[in-house]
A and B are shown apart, each in its own frame.
Chain A
Amino acid sequence: MFFHIVLERNMQLHPRYFGRNLRDNLVSKLMKDVEGTCSGRHGFVVAVTGIENVGKGLIRDGTGFVTFPVKYQCVVFRPFKGEILEAVVTMVNKMGFFAEAGPVQIFVSNHLIPDDMEFQSGDIPNYTTSDGSVKIQKDSEVRLKIIGTRVDATEIFCIGTIKDDFLGVINDPTAI
């Protein structure tokens, strides 16, 4: 799920950026630092959308770096148990397949793949129904449901299922 929230961060800025463009430099550095990171608490930071306020800078003794407390608005993505996501399959093996929904990686084990889909090893490993009408392989798009998340301080990993109504392949790359 996506959230638009306000976060705070202490930015350290090198003295060479001091000048007229200090603020612009600060913002661009913030974006570079923050976007794409993951915190267990808030999820993945997708984009910084604005700066709420920049506090007074504090010059560090010895280094000359300045620390600015910056409050910024950003969009975060945090997967939840029970959430339905659309994801792209990145890797298929006999244990199941891995998929990615944006920054988050999801594993679907073979017990959570419908019983009528069988693993086919070979050049392109895939899961196929007995009549061959549905195929899951690399780059397939699937709709899946998250049934478990593992949240570490800097990492979120999910397991999902496609064994439910309206889940499964939504776009087959070979059919295009």
Chain B
Amino acid sequence: MTDHYNKLVKLVARAFYDDDISLKEDNNINNNTNNNNNQPKPGKRRRNDNRGIAVVILDALTRRRRWVSEQDLAFDLKLNRKQLRRTLNFLEEEKIIAREAVEKKRNTFSYYCCLDYEQIYDVVRYRVHGMKRKLKDGLENKKTVQEYICLDCGRRFNSLDAARLLSLEDGEFHCEHCYGKVEIGDGDGDGDNARGQRREKLKEMLQKMEVQLKPLMNQLVRVKDLPVPEFFTLEAWEARSRARAAHGDNAGDSTLHYGGDVQIVVDFSGTETEGKGEGDKSEIEDIALKGKYIKAYYAALLKQYELAEAAKKQQELPNSHVATYDHSNSTHAQARAADGDNNAVDLTMHNSGDFQVVVDFNGSKGVGDKSGTEDIALKDEYIKAYYAALLKQWELAEAAKKQEELSNSHTATYDHSCSTYDRQVGMKSKSEEDAEEDDGGIEWEEAPIGGNGNGSNRAMEWNVQAEEAHEGDDDDDSVDWEEG
């Protein structure tokens, strides 16, 4: 869900804030106008060109998706702090970001900022609505106040003066000063010709706007029913991160992963079938869900390639899961947790990883409250992609034997959604565990980004990822962006 919102933010940034912001600050009238046409005036000299900075900043914030100290942000983006602050001020005024100041020392504040997803959604809708309304009103001439010009003395009147202009002698309009004849005049010129031209221009502009804002509107529709990503106040967020730090690696990591993983699965539900309601957790037979699990399974499977060690333990885990799976999710989760505990003696890291994935499942179901619509075509795609992945698997020389065993078991149990589901759990836990070993906190940021794609491209994407291993995080980001 965060990914959808992030995409929205990115689209908004490009649609409305890709030109020079300092100009807007100057005249500050652009709330309802079509900003795409707001080109900087050639004659005007500006100290520095701010074009595009808002886009860069917003993109950076979507990658961080939490409170960011402005100092850090300036450092990361290699921006002048003053320039950054000015842009942020503007964005805050536009209600795109939330900011808070924290007094570190006496009279020394440090500022934090964060995307305010809930408000962005409303602000953008309002803005688009305003743009449309203005153009349409202009088109239909609804709000025009007719202008009149005295032919003799050139005085201008409008229809609000009509009562005074009206002469009772002949029922015509006469100038109240010189009693000359009054004719219809137009603001820009005269007659219907100018009016017609203006209409044409407005119509064209409206059409252009509709075409250009289409991706944005689609994204708005997509986001409409999704819950807004959690948006803590700075205080709450800091408390969380403090708690994380205090609890040490294990607990801390699990909370971190909680956020990340939920995002992966939730994204699936958003792209295809909206997941399931919280009530019917036990209906695992749902085909859509199955497809989701298969997808998630790839994620885990392909990641696994990168990891030679711990493969054996991995196999033990899923086996035990198969047995317990038929129960409802909650019991499943408990079994899983117990399972993890058993392993805990020799593998603490594993334990934490496993546990976290269980949480992840609960999250995935809870989020989309709509009952899913099954998409058989999608399912087929997954199956196809699944085999592609299998093929790929064969090619890998190292750990070939282990892989083979794994895949055998998968093909055997493929029709059975439960088992794939299970397998996914196992794999996932493992991959997460490894991620933890690799780069701890950073992984929190990057993992969800990988889960951003949708549909048939998914398998491909994961393949790519598998080859790139962990370092290709930034690439993932860009891939996602183009894809959607």
Query: Main SS of chain B's interface residues?
Result: mixed
Instruction: Pick from B160-168, B423-431, B442-450 the stretch touching chain A.
Output: B160-168
- Is A127 positioned at the interface, with any CB of B under 8 Å from its CB? no
Are the C-beta atoms of A163 and B163 separated by less than 8 Å? no
Are the C-beta atoms of B171 and A107 separated by less than 8 Å? no
- Is A147 positioned at the interface, with any CB of B under 8 Å from its CB? yes
Are the C-beta atoms of A111 and B146 separated by less than 8 Å? yes
Which residue from B143, B144, B159 sits with its C-beta under 8 Å from A96?
A: B159
- Which residues of chain B are within 8 angstroms of A137 by Cβ–Cβ distance? none
- Is A73 positioned at the interface, with any CB of B under 8 Å from its CB? no
Are the C-beta atoms of B172 and A148 separated by less than 8 Å? no
Are the C-beta atoms of B142 and A91 separated by less than 8 Å? no
Are the C-beta atoms of B141 and A95 separated by less than 8 Å? no
- Which residues of chain A are within 8 angstroms of B145 by Cβ–Cβ distance? 147-148, 159
Q: How far is the CB of A99 from chain B (nearest CB, A)?
A: 12
Q: Which of A109, A110, A125, A148 has the most CB of B within 10 A?
A: A109
Are the C-beta atoms of A91 and B171 separated by less than 8 Å? yes
In the complex formed, the residue of A with least CB distance to B160 is A150
- Which residues of chain A are within 8 angstroms of B163 by Cβ–Cβ distance? 98, 105, 107, 157
CA A148 – CA B172 in complex, angstroms?
21
For B, the interface residue count at a CB cutoff of 8 angstroms equals 18
Which residue from A91, A125, A147 sits with its C-beta under 8 Å from B166?
A: A91
A89-106 with Cβ < 8 A to chain B:
91, 93-96, 98, 105
- Is A140 positioned at the interface, with any CB of B under 8 Å from its CB? no
- Is B355 positioned at the interface, with any CB of A under 8 Å from its CB? no
B128-142 with Cβ < 8 A to chain A:
140-142
Which residue from A125, A159, A164 sits with its C-beta under 8 Å from B171?
A: A125
For A, the interface residue count at a CB cutoff of 8 angstroms equals 21
Are the C-beta atoms of B143 and A147 separated by less than 8 Å? yes
Are the C-beta atoms of B141 and A111 separated by less than 8 Å? yes
CA A94 – CA B159 in complex, angstroms?
13
- Which residues of chain B are within 8 angstroms of A126 by Cβ–Cβ distance? none
Q: How far is the CB of A20 from chain B (nearest CB, A)?
A: 46
Given contacts A107-B162, A111-B146, A148-B160, 8 further A-B contacts (CB under 8 A): A105-B163, A107-B163, A112-B146, A125-B171, A147-B142, A148-B145, A150-B161, A159-B160
- Which residues of chain A are within 8 angstroms of B148 by Cβ–Cβ distance? 95
Query: Main SS of chain A's interface residues?
Result: strand
Are the C-beta atoms of B171 and A93 separated by less than 8 Å? yes
- Render A97-134 as a binary contact track against B, CB cut-off 8 A, 1 for contact: 01000000101011110000000000001000000000
CA A147 – CA B161 in complex, angstroms?
14
CA A111 – CA B186 in complex, angstroms?
11
5 of the cross-chain contacts (CB-CB < 8 Å) are A93-B171, A95-B146, A95-B184, A107-B163, A163-B140
CA A91 – CA B142 in complex, angstroms?
22
In the complex formed, the residue of B with least CB distance to A157 is B163
Which residue from B143, B162, B166, B171 sits with its C-beta under 8 Å from A109?
A: B162
In the complex formed, the residue of A with least CB distance to B165 is A95
Q: How far is the CB of A63 from chain B (nearest CB, A)?
A: 37
- Which residues of chain B are within 8 angstroms of A112 by Cβ–Cβ distance? 141, 144, 146
In the complex formed, the residue of A with least CB distance to B163 is A157
CA A111 – CA B144 in complex, angstroms?
8
With A148-B160, A157-B163, A159-B160 in contact, is A95–B173 under 8 Å at CB?
Answer: yes
- Which residues of chain B are within 8 angstroms of A91 by Cβ–Cβ distance? 166, 171
Are the C-beta atoms of A159 and B159 separated by less than 8 Å? yes
Ranked nearest first, the 5 interchain pairs of A and B with the lowest CB-CB distance are A107-B162, A109-B146, A150-B160, A109-B159, A159-B159
CA A143 – CA B172 in complex, angstroms?
24
Which residue from A95, A161, A163 sits with its C-beta under 8 Å from B162?
A: A95
B110-166 with Cβ < 8 A to chain A:
140-146, 148, 159-163, 166
Are the C-beta atoms of B172 and A107 separated by less than 8 Å? no
B155-206 with Cβ < 8 A to chain A:
159-163, 166, 171-173, 184
Are the C-beta atoms of A159 and B162 separated by less than 8 Å? yes
- Which residues of chain A are within 8 angstroms of B142 by Cβ–Cβ distance? 147, 161, 163-164
A135-176 with Cβ < 8 A to chain B:
147-148, 150, 157, 159, 161, 163-164
B402-448 with Cβ < 8 A to chain A:
none
- Which residues of chain B are within 8 angstroms of A164 by Cβ–Cβ distance? 142
In the complex formed, the residue of A with least CB distance to B186 is A111
- Which residues of chain A are within 8 angstroms of B173 by Cβ–Cβ distance? 93, 95
- Which residues of chain B are within 8 angstroms of A96 by Cβ–Cβ distance? 146, 159, 162
Q: Which of A95, A107, A109, A163 has the most CB of B within 10 A?
A: A95
CA A105 – CA B172 in complex, angstroms?
17
Q: How far is the CB of B436 from chain A (nearest CB, A)?
A: 61
Are the C-beta atoms of B159 and A107 separated by less than 8 Å? yes
With A98-B166, A109-B162 in contact, is A163–B141 under 8 Å at CB?
Answer: yes
- Which residues of chain B are within 8 angstroms of A94 by Cβ–Cβ distance? 172
